[in-house]
Amino acid sequence: MYVPPHFAETRPDVIRQLIEEFPLGSLVTNGSNGLDANVIPFELAEMTGGSGSLRGLLRGHIARANPLWQDVADGSDVLVVFRARDSYVSPNWYPSKHETHRLVPTWNYQVVNVHGRIRFIDDEKFLRAVVGRLTRAHERRAEGERGWRMADAPADYIASMLAAIVGVEIVFERVVAKSKLSQNREDRDRLAAADTLEMRGLAEMAQSMRDA
């Protein structure tokens, strides 16, 4: 990924937050049938290290019917793309545009690319643990304390569902993250654009631009 220095996201806490807040990653592989991409909700099981040296572990699962786990060999290099918030930015939102008119539209966004090695795990105990943690995390966000639990469904039904999936584990040692949030503009332009986005209902994107 092309990352100009002023857009490089190197803050480990921000990178962790982006992965955990936007866990639906695009898993890019190059197996015996060529390039492929699968969208999978991931658990960030581990992440350690500082700026430029982050390493860790992602876990998830895919359908057993998905040929990915037979097409890609254990230990293969893979890429997981976590695309966070994004927004179009009009030059009209920049105060300096009305003075110089030397501006063009752009698109702001945040993205995290995780490079690692994959393995597939066909083990009921592993799958039950991963599904349980993913369920608790996302049900809590969606439903609070009233969230659905695996125990709410009959045991034989859960067992059949677990038999229909295969575990995915990715060990990563390289993370490239980018926060393109108008840092290349004057502060007055960046903040004015953030204000406009907030007025249009994109408060979180606006705050990210203010924090850039």
Q: Give the CA dihedral 189, 190, 196, 198, nearest 10 degrees.
A: -160
Q: Could you say which DSSP state residue 30 is in? A: E
Residue 66 has a pLDDT of: 97
Residue 146 has a pLDDT of: 85
**pLDDT tens-digit series, residues 44-77:** 999 999 877 999 999 999 999 999 999 999 999 9
Q: Are 42 and 59 in contact (CB under 8 A)?
A: yes
Write out residues in the chain with pLDDT < 70, as ranges: none
Beta strands in 20-164 (DSSP E): 24-31, 34-41, 43-48, 55-63, 77-89, 106-121
Q: What is the pTM of this model?
A: 0.93
Q: Are 165 and 127 in contact (CB under 8 A)?
A: yes
Q: How far apart are CA 177 and CA 106, in angstroms?
A: 19
Helical residues (DSSP H) of 5-123, grouped into ranges: 12-21, 68-71, 97-100
Q: How far apart are CA 51 and CA 204, in angstroms?
A: 24
Token pair recorded at residue 123 = 């083990």
Q: Are 74 and 11 in contact (CB under 8 A)?
A: no
Residue 52 has a pLDDT of: 79
**pLDDT tens-digit series, residues 25-43:** 999 999 999 999 999 999 9
First to last CA, the chain: 20
Domains and CATH numbers, the chain: 5-200 (2.30.110.10)
Phi-psi region of 182 (alpha: psi -120 to 50; beta: other; left: phi over 0): left
Residue 101 has a pLDDT of: 84
Residue 106 has a pLDDT of: 97
